[in-house]
Amino acid sequence: MSSTNNIAFTAPINPLGVTPVLTPEQIWNGLLLKIRSAETFVPAAIQSTKVVNEFVDPSTGNSVVVREVLFRETQKTVQETVTAFETTRVEFVQPDGSKISNVVSAGAGDELYMTYVFEWRHPDVSKEELRALYEKEKKMSQMAVEGTIKVLRQLVQEKKL
C-alpha cells in the first residue's frame, strides 16, 4: 500500500515593514543557490549538497541539476533531480516519487509570495502513521518556507545575492 501526504504552505515574502525588500531577481538567484547549497537554507535538515550532473532540458529549455543531498537526521544520501522553471518555480523530485515545489507568485497588488508544495510518498505505512507524518510534515512545510525567506533576506543584507 502506498500513501501520500500532500501539503502546501504560503507566506508573504515582503510583509509590510520588513527590510530589506527582496526583488524578484534576488529571490530567483536565492532559489538557484538553494539548488546547489541546500544546507545554506535548511541547515537543521540538510548536512551537504553535491551537484552530480547538470544540463538543459532540450524540450523545455529548463535548467536541470542532479544532486546528492545528505540528510542530517538519517545520515542518508538521497539523489534528487531539480528543475528550475525560470523565474517562478523550482521542483525537486526524489527517487521514491516524492516531489517538492518552491513557487514564487505575485498577488493582486504585486505582493510576492512563496509557496512550497509537498507530495510526500510513504510506501507501506498505516493510516495512523500517515496521519502522524502529516502533522510533522505540515509543521516542517511552514518552517521551510519561512526559513527560506529569512535566509534570502539575510543573504541580501550580507550582499551575497
- For the residues of 47-64, what is the DSSP string, one character each? EEEEEEEEEE-TTT--EE
Buried b (16+ CB within 10 A) or exposed e, 77-109: ebebebbbeeebbbbbbbeeebbbbbbbeeeee
pTM of the entire structure? 0.92
Whether residue 134 has pLDDT greater than 60:
yes
In a domain, 80, yes or no: yes
Instruction: Give the domain range for residue 140.
Output: 2-152
Q: What is the mean pLDDT of residues 5-21?
A: 96
**Overall domain count for the chain:** 1
What's the length of the chain? 161
- Asked, for residue 160, whether it belongs to a domain, the answer is no
Which run of H or E residues covers position 154?
A: helix 127-157
Domain of 45, CATH number, reads 3.30.530.20
What is the pLDDT at residue 45?
86
With respect to residue 131, please indicate whether it lies within any of the assigned structural domains: yes
Taking a C-beta distance cutoff of 8 angstroms, is the pair 156, 38 a contact? Answer: no
The helix-helix angle for 127-157 and 24-36 (nearest 10°) equals: 120
CA–CA dist 98, 71 (Å, integer): 15
Three-state secondary structure call for residue 116: strand
In a domain, 158, yes or no: no
Q: Phi and psi at residue 135, in whole multiples of 5°?
A: -60, -40
Average pLDDT over residues 105-121: 95
- Answer yes or no: is 161 within a domain: no
Q: Report pLDDT digits (tens) over 34-93.
A: 999 999 998 888 999 999 999 999 999 999 999 999 999 899 999 999 999 999 999 999
